Each structure stands twice: as structure tokens, then as C-alpha cells.
Amino acid sequence: MNLLLQGLALGVLTGGLYALLASGLSLYFGVMRVVMVAHPAFLFLAAYLTYTVHTTLGLDPFLALPLTVPLFFALGVAVQRLLIARLAPENMAMMSVLLTFGIALTIEGLLGTFYTGSYKSVSMEYATRSLTIGGVHLPYDKIIAFWVAAITLLVLFAVLIKSRFGQSLRATIQHREAARLVGIQTERVAGYGFGVGLATAAVGGTVLALITPFFPASHWVWIGKLMAIIVVGGLGSVVGAALAAVLLGVVEGLVLVTVDATWATIMFYVFLFLTLLARPQGFFGGRLAHRF
Amino acid sequence: MRIASRGLPPLVAGLAIAYPFLVPNYYLVYAGALTVMYAAMATSWNLLGGFTGYVSLGHSAFFGLGAYGTGLLVTRMDVPWVVALLVSALLVTVFAVGVGIAAVRVRGASFVIVSIALVSMMNLIVQGWRSLTGGSTGLQVPSPFPDLHRGETHMVFFYLFLALLALALASWWYVSRSRFGAGLRAIREDEDKAESLGVPTGAYKVTAFALSALFVALAGGLYALWFGSLDPIFVFSILIASSMVLMSLLGGVRHLFGPLLGALIVAPAGEYFLIALGETQIHLTATGLVLVLVVLFMPDGILARFSRRRAGPSIPDETAEQRLQGVAP
């Protein structure tokens, strides 16, 4: 029983992080109908940058954020405006996957060349202990990861719902042509949407660096996991992705403590296939996701 | 021009058959066999990708399963290698029908996601199932030709892969002229319209998926017998599948010889990088950048540049005005 509670608690904490990592993917899909396979590669790029800032300057990993977040925002705008906007619209879905796949390979190769293929990790003294509540051990690094993810997501939702930029972004997601008719510059908004998505990758990468060791090819595992999350949640739905992330995080946590790590990861793919068989548009995606 | 393009295929075929005797050393025979293997896999990938437009990044799953199936049948059950190769390819094809039924329910980006998930899942299962597959330490497969030395083995497998390539090319050619091929092309142009015109899109897609898996599985099985040691992380890597995609796109997915041309460029370039730069990760960056450039600037491939037909949909979109001009006296 205690074991299950442990799995459940860890699952919720990890699920919160998954929600942050998957939110960027939902944004890209929303604004451009693009499945950004390179998102996890950018996560690990951010993790490695955090590692460099931490080891060379001796700073706390979170102090890398003022550097990486604006950098990644600019990178996101550049990727959208210079690469993705150039693709022919009739074959967008397939070609954008291949394009971002190429970007992912490029990043992995560069990371492997500069940082070598061995494991790196950022460990902080405060992150190694754990909190014990009623027999359930909660590592501090997971708690920190959860709260950073939760705060970032709250800020993201606030921006999407309250700000004028958020409104035009949501309008662009819902109906591009209509958005242009009411005077929204949809190209520019789509570019910023990509920037925001990649900025979440900067935050997520720093958190990942803190909780897990990483090497250049780590991003492949995350592609599968994050893709499963956004498909189960419904492509393009940020809220759906967040709920699916917590659900799959809990399932993973429970399988992890009862069976083993291999099956815990396989559960993501099981849910992916079940969703496609039962409800290909996902559980929260509406009309938007149906044809993808 | 026309005579030149007619005479080219027999000439290339003749050169390919003579290739092991023309090159000065066995390393080049090895590199040639590897190139032909990739050409065969890219051509069979194109049975699905070229006709239907469904881009699969998961074909390394069939490569890996074909390799492990053959290897396990040979080592665990002492089956003769030819039988093991054929049985494992058949099993993979049956598996591909099952996967295909689920996978082709979704289109576009979701299909790509499913194909990536397939590879990752197979990789996890093969690594996790330690008692059967040897896990991440890999599987050792005895050579089918113990009497030949290494160089001669390269030569034998060069011809085996060449035969497989010929088979894949013949299948593509046959399908491209059949009613089945026309149906697959209709799916690429507009799946909903094709379906409303009575094309059994589901059955056609699954058939194309399984057919293309069959040849990739055969290539995987031959690879297992050739290399003699299987590393699950390599044989189930998305990198193998992405090479197939890159080769096909670079050469031209709508042409019979497109993937072959792409393989002739990409595979030797990869080997050259390996020699020139050593075992660094920078070759990944090179592959990635080439893929980005091809997708951005040459999505129809090299052959489309040379063929006179204009790229784009094979059924051109005409405006009402153009159509009126066509029928006007």
C-alpha cells in the first residue's frame, strides 16, 4: 500500500514536469500544425547549457534561466520564420516532421561533439535530500521540478488567457484566416508562439538537468514519451496535454514501483496505441486534431 | 536523351555485378555491400512512402525484428539460415499487418509519431527481454559461410543484397503499373476523394505497409547473418529509418530509381565521414543538415529536376478558366 502511495506521489510530481515539457509541443501544433520532433533535443541543449553555466561559473542551475530563456525564445522565432514558414503548405505535416527531425539530429551531433557522449549531471546539495510524509519519500529535486513546472505553466496560461498576445495567439490557433481578417498578423504571432514554446523548453531543460543525468542521445526516449502525451491529450490542446501528462506520469509511477522501468516506459506507447484505436483525435482535442 | 536514359539501367546493373572484381580491396566490397543494403531498404521504404505519401520513421523496427528473428532462429533453434531468413521475414510481415491496421488509421503527423513510437517500443522490449535476446549486450549469430574468409563473405553478401535490391525494384515497378499502385497514388493525392470513389484505402495502405516491411525485414535478416553480432541500440535506432527517408527524398520518392540514387550518394558519404572524421558524433550533424536542406530546397528529389514533368500533384489543379480554355473550340 505504502509502495503504491509512493508510486502515486512520484507519478504526480513527474507528471507535472511532463505537463511543462509537453506544453511547448502543443503550442507548436496549435499555431503551425507542426509536430516538433526537435523539442526534446532543444530540452537537452538547454540542459547542457545549464551544465556549462553551472560548472564554469559555479552558479545555481536556475541562474542559467535569464540567459537560456531569451536565447531559446529567439531561436524559436528564428526556426519558425526562417525554416518552417518556408515549407509548402500542402505537405506541411510530413515535411515539418522531417525538417525538425533534421534539426534534432543536428543538435544531437553537436552536443556529442562538444560535450562527448558520456553522462553529465548537475547535482545541488539541496536537491539530494528527500522529504518524508507518512512513510512516503519525496525527493526534493522532484518537488522543485514540480513547482517550477507548475509556476511556469501558470504563467503560460495567464499569458495565453489574459494578455493581448495570448488572445491573438489563441485566435490564430482557432481559425487562422478569421484571425487575419480581424487584423491579427498571424505570421508574426505564429513566430512568437514558437518562441514561447521553445522558451518552455529552456525552463524544462534546466529542471531536467537537475533531476536526471543526461547524454546527447537522451532525447530519443523523450520524443516517444512527449508524443504519446500530446496524442493522448489531443493534438493542439494545451490543457489536454497537461491532463494527459499527469495521467501518464501517475501510470508510469505506479508501474515503476510495481513492475519495472522498461514496462513503465512501454506504458506510454500502450496508451498511445490504445488512444489511436479508440479515439484517434485524443481525449481533449476536438475538430482541430481530427485530421492529423 | 531518350536512348541514353534507356541504356543507363542495364549499364549500371552490369557495373554493379562487376563491382566486386573492379575494386582493389575488400574494404570497398564491404562499403559496396552496405550501400546496396541501404539502397534495397530505401527502395522498399518507398513502396509505402513514395506511393501513399505516408512517411514512416519506424522502418528500423522491421529491420531490427528481421535481424533478431533470423539470429534467434539460427542460434536458438538451429534452423538453416535460408529458412530462418524467410520465416523471420514472414513473421515480421504478419506483425506489420497487425501494426499497420492500427497505424494507418491516422494520417500525417500522427502516423509519423506512431512509427517513431513503434521503434522505441521494440528497442525497449528487445533490450528488456534479456533471457531471449541477450539484452543490451547483443546477440551473436554464427556465420552461414564458416569456410570463407571475411573478404569473401563480404562478396557473397554483396550479391545477396544486390538480389534483394533487384527484387525490391521489380516490386516497385510492378506496383507502379498496377491498379493497386494507382489506388495508392490516389491515396497520396486525396485520401477522402479516393475513398469516396471506391478505392479500398484501408486494405491498400495495410498491404503497402506490410509489403514494404517484408523487404526491410529481409535486409535485416541478411544484415544479422553478415555482421554476426547484433546491437539492439543500433538495429532499432531511428537513424536507420531516417537514412531510408533521407535517401528516398534526396533521390526522388516518385521515381523508381530515386531511392537507389539517394543511397548511392548518402551511404558512401557516410562511410567517407566515418573514415575522415573517425567515430565522432559530427556525422549526425551532417546527416541532419543534409535532411534540412533537402526538405527545404529539394523535397521532390534530384530525379524530379531532370525529368521533364513538372513537380507537384500528378493531377494538376486547374482553375475554371483554364478548363474552359481547354474545351473552347
| Percentage of residues in chain A having pLDDT higher than 90 | 12
So what's the pLDDT on residue A91? 74
CB contact under 8 A, B285 and A91: no
Per-residue model confidence as pLDDT tens digits over B146-199: 777 877 888 888 999 999 999 999 999 999 888 898 888 888 888 888 888 888
Distance CA A108, CA B283 (A): 10
Determine contact: A259 vs chain B, CB below 8 A. Answer: no
For A2-290, CATH gives 1.10.3470
Q: Per-residue pLDDT for B144 more than 70?
A: yes
Contact at CB, B284 and A106, closer than 8 angstroms:
yes
3-state SS, one letter per residue, for A211-253: HCCECHHHHHHHHHHHHHHHHHHCCCCHHHHHHHHHHHHHHHH
Are the Cβ atoms of A273 and B117 closer than 8 angstroms? Answer: yes
Q: How far is A163 from chain B (nearest CA, A)?
A: 30
Over 80: is that where the pLDDT of A144 sits? yes
- The pLDDT assigned to B42 comes to 93
Are B120 and A105 within 8 A, CB to CB? no
Rounded to whole angstroms, the Cα distance separating A118 from A48 reads: 12
CA distance B137 to chain A (A): 16
Q: Extract the C-alpha cell encoding A237.
A: 490542446
Question: Looking at the predicted structure, is the pLDDT value of residue B314 above 60?
Answer: no
Distance CA B198, CA B184 (A): 12
pLDDT at residue B1 greater than cutoff 50: no
The pLDDT confidence band at residue B295, using thresholds 50, 70 and 90, is confident
Nearest Cβ partner for B295 among A95, A265, A273: A95
Interface test with B, best of A37, A48, A91, A105 (most B CBs within 10 A): A105
Domain residue ranges of chain A, discontinuous segments joined by +: 2-290
Q: From CA A21, how far away is CA A197, in angstroms rounded?
A: 9
Q: Do B124 and A102 touch (CB under 8 A)?
A: no
Structure confidence at residue B234 (pLDDT): 83
Q: Residue B93: pLDDT above 70?
A: yes
Q: What are A103's three cell numbers?
A: 534539426
Band of residue B318 on the pLDDT scale cut at 50, 70, 90: low
Beta carbons of A109 and B117 less than 8 Å apart:
no
Determine whether the interchain pair A103/B288 forms a contact, defined as Cβ–Cβ distance below 8 Å.
yes
The mean pLDDT value for B188-213 works out to 89
Residue with cell 508524443: A227
Instruction: Supply the pLDDT for residue B311.
Output: 46
- Choose among B105, B249, B296: nearest Cβ to A276: B105
Cβ <8 Å between A262 and B242: no
Convert the pLDDT of each residue in A226-241 to its tens digit: 888 988 888 777 788 8
Q: Does B131 score more than 80 pLDDT?
A: no
Length reported for chain A = 292
Please report, rounded to a whole number, the percentage of residues in chain A having pLDDT higher than 70. 96
Query: Highest-confidence range of A99-108, A167-176, A218-227, B233-242, by mean pLDDT?
Result: A99-108
User: What band does B116 get if pLDDT is binned at 50, 70 and 90?
Assistant: confident
Q: Pick the closest to residue A11 from A267, A258, A261, A249 (CA basis).
A: A249
A window 83-102, beta carbon within 8 A of B: 83, 86-88, 90-91, 93-99, 101-102
Q: What is the pTM of this model?
A: 0.85
Mean pLDDT of B99-106: 82
B51 or B142, higher pLDDT: B51
Residue B308 has pLDDT above 60, yes or no: no
Choose the closest CB to B281 out of A93, A112, A235.
Answer: A112
At residue A46 the predicted structure's pLDDT band, cuts being 50, 70 and 90, is very high
Percent of chain B, pLDDT > 90?
22
Higher-pLDDT residue of B8, A284: B8
Whether B231 shows a pLDDT value over 80: the answer reads yes
The answer to whether residue B72 neighbours chain A at the CB level (below 8 Å) is no
- Give the whole-angstrom CA distance, residue B307 versus residue A116: 44
Q: Do the Cβ atoms of B125 and A265 come within 8 Å?
A: no
Please tell me the predicted confidence (pLDDT) of residue A289.
Answer: 43
CB within 8 A of A136, min separation 6: which ones? Answer: A2, A5, A6, A9
| pLDDT (0 to 100) of residue B326 | 65
Q: How many CB pairs under 8 A join A and B?
A: 151
User: What average pLDDT score do residues A195-199 get?
Assistant: 91
pLDDT band at A10; cut points 50, 70, 90 = confident
Rounded CA gap, B3 and B167, in Å?
Answer: 25
Q: Is the ipTM of this complex over 0.85?
A: no
